[in-house]
Structure 1
């Protein structure tokens, strides 16, 4: 999810052959063609991201929804494919074995092993599960038909004593990204049995830094993506109110004025948003940081013209957005570029639910 190094699905250092060709308007038709191409056949540069195929599909499908192009998606085919990626326990006893029964990131983790010892161990992942549910909601699938009991009951075993979450049962890093995934999963399934919200809240607040932002882990540097994960999670859990900008003091033990100060300082002289102090502006932080300001009710303080101008320089002549001006487009930065333009109320784009990262219509089911 949100990292400064982003594991950008295309090399951001590889420049667009003609960076001076940047358009000064949002080229919706070209973006639609780009996403449809990505949905049908990924370029070879994405081979190293095979395990994240479900995440890439989320960027493409939800991106088409924002652009008003969901009619280009084979919804039945997408639903069948996504559902086929869920891991299922064979019985009630297996559900208690500590494994997570969410969604795999791709078909490759379900292949038979070459030594005839059976399937590769369950590798379902919190981020893949978030993306799976987001896709299903986007294409109009009723999530009441999903095996939510297995997801939620097994997800509790991923929560650590400090309130954080591992993304996978066999052990991995724990940070705010996976607390957010857990909160978003519970919210979309409309069932909070998958996590201890009070413990999650404690962990989030322990990531609150002296300067007002949030680090990915307690004591780490404030980061735009981590701050989004913190604020969006608290909002989904019902622990912060609407429009905190109009209030003073603290909310849920957060110093709101200090948080606003840190967040607003992330917009640079070039109009773009940076993820951390002394870092260059980056397309994705227009959403990660801009989204925090929207949740807080302070998005009117964004220099919207400056942000548009910066994003135009990251818009590719091939459709999509790159990480920085002149970079080739990739699905990750393209999707969050579309989200940013939705936040800027670009005509013709669907409005998005900031906390869940999908359109409002997908959330409401119409």
Structure 2
């Protein structure tokens, strides 16, 4: 018996110091209920429940509510297109500041975010001169025509190749640039990244494996018309196991909580494979709907997290894909539009941001604009059509910002997607 007691005490000490991280002695307090002021009894309880996230959300919420209160006008909120165009155009004319050297491995991404933002606001805002600069830059990263690294001399990577193919689709085959893409080499490289479990490494030897890699690989292959059974073998099983009990998707099977970015990657991948029926779509609809915060009106990326403008696309496009395939709308598009136009842009600074108090950047500018395009459109698709044939219909219940129609699966203007895929309709080259 004494030995058992000794083990129990030792276990308790281990839990108290090692697992909980610090000692937490028991605190006893005698309360005389007759002297208790009941008007203040709830405050200590709420204080105990506060976390860094709840405090941050309270601050954001106060800023958002103040903006909504002061931002009312008879004509409603509008997108300041010309102001944002100035911000994006400058990026192609000057060298980026030293503090952005951390993005050296994201050069194709920077090109995609900026070029796509211009195209989404106006299909004619990406000039031929800028298209040529983009093409020259990308083929200086990979003179062989792909796959592409994040910059010159860097290893080919799934994410940077995805961004490079996306931005090349925006260049409208200027100077025959699409013929310079080596589809056979990219296909063989994609096969070399395949894992036995159905996933894809993001990079040879050292790359991670998760739903992002699957989406990038399938999007590249679908856009270049090199999607084969060999490439997609095992992918469905991997994706199906990534759906969490919440309804959204994590990064890997049975590992992560549901997340907006992973959920988009999985949903778009399943749409490319035309196999959304293999998952629990009802739970996915519920999860997407629950990510729209009632007070802020925008989306958060995970349960009990802060609103962020980029999820206007990551979650909004996931919902739009489901809408296109006949599952109905699962969020308030007008409320999301108000969040983007009132809380993600400001008068003093061009570009769009994730939330009040943050600075604008190219990433959030692109995905907020894509999310805005989703709110102002209705989506439909014939049952047997591939996702590049998804149709956008103007949402007559919402005032239009006159944006370019966007395909929610690819995050690109619909016409650019269709032209690009049609150009490579011959399938895999010999």
TM-score by length of 2: 0.69
User: 1:37 is matched with which residue?
Assistant: 90
Question: Helix, strand or coil: the match of 1:349?
Answer: coil
Quick check: 1:22–1:315 contact (8 Å CA) kept in 2? Answer: no
- CA–CA distance in structure 2, aligned partners of residues 52 and 194 of structure 1: 30
Q: Distance in 2 between matches of 1:355 and 1:281?
A: 22
Whether 2:289 is the aligned partner of 1:283: answer no
**Please, which runs of 5 or more residues in structure 1 have no aligned partner?**
1-12, 90-100, 111-121, 241-250
Partner of 1:162: 197
Partner of 1:93: none
Larger-Rg structure: 2
Q: CA deviation at 1:84?
A: 2.5
Q: Matches of residues 259-278 of structure 1 in structure 2 within 5 Å?
A: 259-269=284-294, 270-278=296-304
Deviation of 1:60 (Å): 0.5
Q: Secondary structure at the match of 1:84?
A: helix
The answer for the alignment partner of 1:105 in structure 2 is 150
CA pair 236-73 structure 1, distance change in 2 beyond 3 A = farther
Q: How far off is 1:194 after superposition? A: 9.0
Q: Could you say which residue in structure 1 is the equivalent of 2:401? A: 347
SS in 1 for 2:127: helix
| SS in structure 2 of the partner of residue 343 of structure 1 | helix
> What residue ranges of structure 2 are gaps of 5+ in the alignment?
1-59, 377-399, 421-430
Give the 3-state SS of the residue equivalent to 1:102 in structure 2. coil
- Structure 1 distance, partners of 2:71, 2:408, is 27
Provide the rounded CA distance (Å) in 2 between the counterparts of 1:123 and 1:159.
17
Asked if residue 57 in structure 1 is aligned to residue 111 in structure 2, the reply is yes
Partner SS state of residue 141, structure 2: coil
Alignment CA distance shift 1:234-1:132 (3 Å): same
Q: Distance in 1 between matches of 2:126 and 2:71?
A: 26
In the alignment of these two chains, the number of paired residues is: 315
Residue range with higher mean Cα deviation, 38-47 or 259-268: 38-47
CA RMSD of aligned residues (A): 2.4
Instruction: Give me the whole-angstrom Cα distance separating, in 1, the residues matched to 2:237 and 2:352.
Output: 36
Say if 1:152 and 1:194, in contact at 8 Å, map to a contact too: no
Aligned to 1:66: 120
Q: Within 2, Cα distance between the matches of 1:201 and 1:171?
A: 24
- Tell me the SS of whatever aligns to 2:115: helix
- In the TM superposition, what whole-angstrom CA distance separates every residue of 1:288-347 from its partner, at most 9, and x where no partner exists? 101011000157442223212221212133211112212110111110011011112243
**Counterparts of 1:128 and 1:363 in 2: how far apart (Å)?**
18
